[in-house]
Structure 1
Amino acid sequence: MDSDIPLGHVLVTGGCGFLGHHIVNLLLERDPEVRISVLDLRTTHNRNLNSQVSYYDGDITDYSKTKSLFETLRPDVVIHTASPHFNLSPDILLKVNLDGTKVLLQGAQETGVKAFVYTSSASIIHDGKNLINADERWPLAYAESAVLAANRSDAYPNFLTCAIRPAGIFGEGDVQSVPKMITAYHKGQTKFQIGDNNNLFDFTYVGNVAHAHLLAASALLVTAKMAPQRPLDHETVDGEPFLITNGQPVYFWDFARTIWREAGDKTLPNQVWVLSTDMMWAIGAVLEGIFWVMGKTPNLTRQQAKYSSITRYYNIDKAKRRLGYKPIVDLQEGIRRAVQYIIQEEKKQGEKKAQ
């Protein structure tokens, strides 16, 4: 599928977030005629100064204001990446992820949006067990289900949707995986490893995830132009979820050590202490209890202990066949970019403090 097909006017929700602003930047890079509107709760972060981008502060759970914005903007495509931080309460997560998504769907349908691409997550098919070569046939999450159910509905037969399920996103602006690993490097914790490192894991560079979203949006617009004809079943994009990774599963601690080496770590394999997953899970439980009293979160939690020793990789053949997806940045280069970004940011902060 051609990712260079003009997308017209694109509304990116969460466009000031980690993934969202990478999508905005890639849109500008590929389509000199594109018009971009960014809707986010607060739009002070990750702003692009290009005149083709407009920013709007708003709460996607507020139907009247969201509908009014849709009526004003009349976008051709919606790329919905907005999502609250996973550490927030379940009520807030449900309200934003499910209710907010339904508000956006309704606003898009009622104002003639042609294509709606939803950022889901590969983790929705994760139930705490190992996932080996998992594909799109695994169970869905509620918000994604609402998006896919809205495709070609009886009331809006020309409204097309699909979902992108990225796994383990990292890159410039990442606030979870790579920064935590760099913090571990600064604390001298690179000589420790939880588990035997036999667990393959998928990490995905953010630029590849952005690329997949643009491929999906283009495919939906091509499908819309085909009406009333429809693609063959094995070519269909609308109404479908697509798993997206770098296509390079790697042993979990090999990924961490590649990050540490890029940051300057000199630890040799024979210097690494391998710690039992069960023991570290128990220690994480104790630390959580102690830090909970102080209103803080420890560096090691039960979730982190389990996460670093579980197998979790996916099959992206469907995205390759139907979207024409292939990674545009390999894992090693993605790691280099992510680490160098953090190093530059740390340098800037150090210079500010010195002033």
Structure 2
Amino acid sequence: MQLGGWIVRVADSSSHSLLTDPSVSDSLLSNALCSGQASFCHVDVRDTSQIIIVTKGADVVFYMEPTDLDIRDFYNCYMIIVQGAKNVINACRECKVRRLVYNSSADIVFDGSRDILDGDLSFICPGKFKDMLIDLKFQAEGLIRLANNIDGLLTCVLRPSNVFGPGDTRFVPLLVNLAKAGLAKVCELSQQYNFICIEL
């Protein structure tokens, strides 16, 4: 897919084709997919050979796990998050990829006891995480950071807070449940722009 001079490949672990919201017809990704400029690949991150196939020739790889993992299945979560990170690193090194960006979580350093303002790498991880997925992301993050500058691979870890979009099954339901329980009040709901502003 050609986006501003970049060729982008979209790989996903789901068994179906990449679906975009049909109401967002002016989306860059949607337009690229509809015009045939995008290629979509089914990739199982538990299989390094599959990752290598889509990674060959890439300059930058972004690794994000699915957000709908079943937290009752520890083995599968571990294999996708931690082993998946190892496999992505190995594929990047084998394919001579120059940059690897991992989408981690702000929950790695946020324990709820204080706000994070102007956060940097000096923030200490709490050591105890609110759930298993954050613990596993912490392990994956460590692997990605340790791989930095080995075999010419530069790595970066992003710690965004509350990334969500179409198909989200975790964040928006959490906000709705907080509002229903009286722990938050909905201050604005816009159907035109598809957002909810919640005041906690």
Question: TM-score, normalised on structure 1?
Answer: 0.42
1:162 aligns with 2:156: yes
Distance in 1 of aligned mates of 2:81 and 2:160: 16
Distance 1:181 1:173 in 2: 15
Q: Which amino acid aligns with 1:132?
A: D
Alignment of 1:105-254 (within 5 A): 105-127=89-111, 129-133=112-116, 135=119, 136=121, 137-139=123-125, 141-153=138-150, 156=151, 158-179=152-173, 181=175, 189=180, 192-194=181-183, 253=184
Change (3 A) 1:144 1:193: same
Q: Would you tell me which structure has more helix in proportion to its own residues?
A: 1
The structure that has the greater radius of gyration is 1
1:173 positional shift = 4.6
Cα offset for 1:44? 2.0
> Are 1:96 and 2:80 matched, yes or no?
yes
5 Å-filtered alignment, 1:37-52, equals 37-42=9-14, 43-47=16-20, 48=30, 49=33, 50-52=35-37
Encode CA deviations 1:289-308: one digit per residue, 9 max, x unaligned. xxxxxxxxxxxxxxxxxxxx
Quote how far apart the aligned CAs of 1:109 are: 1.0
Give the share of equivalent positions with the same residue, in percent.
22
Please tell me whether residue 53 in structure 1 is matched to residue 44 in structure 2: no
| Structure 2: tracts of 5 or more residues without a match | 21-29, 128-137
Q: Do 1:170 and 1:338's aligned partners in 2 also have CA atoms closer than 8 Å? A: no
Label 1:179 to 1:84 Cα distance change in 2 as closer, same or farther (>3 A).
closer
- 1:66 matched to 2:38: no
- Decide whether the 8 Å contact of 2:18 with 2:40 is kept in 1: no
TM-score by length of 2: 0.70
- The number of equivalent residue pairs is 168
After TM superposition, give the deviation of residue 87 of structure 1 in Å.
Answer: 3.5
CA distance in 1, matches of 2:165, 2:95: 34
Instruction: Give SS of 1:166's match.
Output: coil
